[in-house]
A and B are shown apart, each in its own frame.
Chain A
Amino acid sequence: MIATMFTSYPRTLTAVAALLALLTLAYGGAMDAVYPSLLTVFEWLETTWFGVIGKTWGAAFAFVEAVHLLGLALLGGCVLAGDGRLLGVVLTDVPMQTVVERTHRVFVFGLSICLATGIFMACGVATKIYYLPVYWFKMLALSAGMLFHFQVRRPLLSHDIQSLNPVVVKMVAVASMLVWFMVAATGRWIGFSG
């Protein structure tokens, strides 16, 4: 039976396993063992070009912060339009498959902007965020969001959505909105911490 389940839902099970591994690492004591050795990595990040630019030119850092927000707006717009359609709230007269498919491309673009600018910002304040619990929450939420989007939501919705159980489709939409809201909210809270 397990073999049948794995062949039917390989990506979903891989995503769940990866999430469980992440949570175990974060809360199961393994993080406590790894955490001190990560400090050298974060100290090194501040010595990279991104780190030096971010620390030296406040205007460059602030500009990248703004671009990060623009990427977030794009990403959030796609999530709300796509998941809103799955919930039957927006674009109800456009086929679900069309909205989900077409917003995915823009979503990837928005996510790429967020990741690129996020790495730059992290390098600039690496030794600060290392000590912030909310930064690690954000990384967990981001990992969960990306795993969920690419390993669960997208493979599931690439099938004919009309043939899927409507409750499952709505649950996927709600989960997607919640996880990306969590990513954005924890990201915002980094600015208020430390």
Chain B
Amino acid sequence: MNELIHNLAIWLDDTEWSRMLHESYYMYNWVESTHVLTLMVSLGMLFLIDLRMLGLALPDVPASRIAERLNLPMLVGFVVMFITGILLFYAVPVRTSQSLWFRLKMVLLVVCAVNAFLFHKRMNESVATWDIEPRAPSRIRLGAMLSLGFWSIIVVCGRFIAYDWFDCDTSPNTLIDIVSGCVDGQTRF
């Protein structure tokens, strides 16, 4: 599996657009800046929704209204982050696909998606009974806390991708090499 991912990454790396994006100082920085700054739209809205459920933000506004009204800007933000994220991966595919932090981030993104699905399902089932309460029921609050926690770790992982502590050619730890999916003798940036 790792070899397959690695070969795919090498194929992407060999494409002209990948090289152009990687070597273009301004374009790469614009894409990365957009990816980071869109945090304010996507995670900013998500944090407000989660904090509302915990009773820490806008407690006197119905929870369903906050969730529904901030959902669209949040999704727009996530779409922009997703597109710019793909471009960032495309610009540096080999190193990124073998990054421990990138892999952890991808797993946590899936976990967050599952948590968001369950959160909305539970909320829609019961919101009529607690909508105007300052704090949501404990099950919803747990979902909000997990969302805050997982997304915070995702941001930390995203930031750590830039550092080379566990890169395949520098990491002496075999276990980390395995988790990172290092393919022996095939490291290229």
Interface residues of A (CB under 8 A from B): 58-59, 62-63, 65-66, 69-70, 72-81, 84, 90-94, 98-99, 102-103, 105-106, 181, 184-185, 188-189, 192
Contacts and interface: CB of A to CB of B under 8 A. Distances in A.
Contacts of A105: 57
Contacts of A103: 48, 57-58
B44 A73 contact: yes
Contacts of A99: 58, 61
Nearest to A77: B44
B40 A72 contact: yes
A188 B84 CA distance: 15
Contacts of A74: 43-44, 47
A110 B165 CA distance: 29
Interface in B7-65: 29, 32-33, 36-37, 39-48, 51, 56-61, 65
B48 to A, nearest CB: 5
Given A70-B152, A106-B57, A81 B45 contact: yes
A81 B41 CA distance: 9
Interface string B79-120: 000000000000000000000000000000000000000000
Closest 10 CB pairs of A and B: A77-B44, A76-B40, A73-B43, A66-B159, A66-B156, A102-B58, A73-B39, A76-B44, A188-B33, A91-B69
A65 B162 CA distance: 12
A178 B66 CA distance: 24
Contacts of A92: 69
A60 to B, nearest CB: 12
Interface residues of B, number: 36
B71 to A, nearest CB: 10
A76 B41 contact: yes
A181 to B, nearest CB: 8
Contacts of A81: 44-45, 48, 70
Nearest to B59: A102
B159 to A, nearest CB: 4
B73 interface: yes
The listed residue with most A CB atoms (<10 A of its CB), out of B29, B40, B59, B158, is B40
B157 to A, nearest CB: 8
B189 interface: no
B70 A91 contact: yes
A87 to B, nearest CB: 12
